[in-house]
Structure 1
């Protein structure tokens, strides 16, 4: 019985690996919403009933893979153990897995905040750095918009970097992001005070 279960688990792992590799290959050719179960199964050399034993549709498989990638990135950032995000190691991690990030996180979507994977990264980032607003005496509503601005700008730079083949070293991009962020954070309390004077 145990031997049969082990064989079944091995078969499941192999099937899922074939489906994942096939999906990555197809994502190099077209966005996920244009990939059909039929062509995915043909690429994996599996029948459709096998696919439907594990997934409802191609998008479910895509999000499973993407969520695992996001989970791994967030775990990595947490494991660094710093009291703030260390950008350079995070960028090095992304660079090592550039193809996966390009195909799963940025596949045909430029910072679409309705995309569940990008939304998750945004929400985790906000949760991580929200306390800094109080330390700088920036009001909650203003801080929310400042964080959105910083996240969209920073994510846009990382998106471009990934799509361009990581053409800068992680240290260089980290320094660029750090400089831009520091400039904005230095200006934020002053902007808040100016707003208060006008009111």
Structure 2
């Protein structure tokens, strides 16, 4: 656990590619031989942290019917609550210093669940569902990154509701500014 915490601390200030085993071990106050008895390099350690988060994500995704708007909201709320409880880990994994691997893995896992459900239950063409899924997932990841880095000002429930509404209703769910010149 101390190794994981040390890696997460280092990822706040530098990219995974620039972190050495020596500085990781110094920060964790362990010998390099202890490190190598568990991991081959810093990337394997990072992958083990990613695996823990992704296992939770996958377990959550399996519980819900993604074509049901209410269940999708509940699923999103549970995911946002998890991310709020693991803010530092999620923020580091989604940062540029953590590399793109985690984001790609999140996209791959969620893509499997969403695209299959949309194609089967909504009768959407595969070519269209592919683009829509990429659009929704990429946008959602960027929203999550912003939410985490800006101090999670909105509640997990509010974030889940917003993403759920936007995914279901598009731009029509965004509140209008009454003073807007454009009407």
Aligned-partner SS, 1:159? helix
- Post-superposition Cα deviations, 1:84-104, rounded to whole Å, max 9, x if no partner, equal 24211211111111111112x
Q: 1:83 aligns with which of 58, 62, 65?
A: 65
1:145 and 2:131 equivalent?
yes
TM-score normalised per structure 1? 0.73
Aligned-partner SS, 1:56? coil
5+ residue gaps, structure 1, are 1-16, 187-199
Alignment of 1:51-70 (within 5 A): 51-70=35-54
Alpha-carbon RMSD across the aligned residues, in angstroms, is 2.3
Change (3 A) 1:164 1:44: same
Moved more, 126-135 or 50-59: 126-135
1:28 and 2:16 equivalent?
no
Structure with larger RCO (C-alpha < 8 A, sep 6+): 2
Q: What is the distance in 1 between the residues matched to 2:158 and 2:31?
A: 47
Aligned position for 2:34: 50
5+ residue gaps, structure 2, are 67-71, 173-183
Q: What is the distance in 1 between the residues matched to 2:155 and 2:137?
A: 20
TM-score normalised per structure 2? 0.79
CA drift of 1:120 comes to 2.1
Aligned position for 1:176: 162
Q: What is the distance in 2 between the residues matched to 1:137 and 1:62?
A: 39
1:97 and 2:86 equivalent?
yes
Tell me how many residue pairs correspond in the alignment.
164
CA drift of 1:180 comes to 1.3
Aligned position for 1:106: 94
1:157 and 2:143 equivalent?
yes
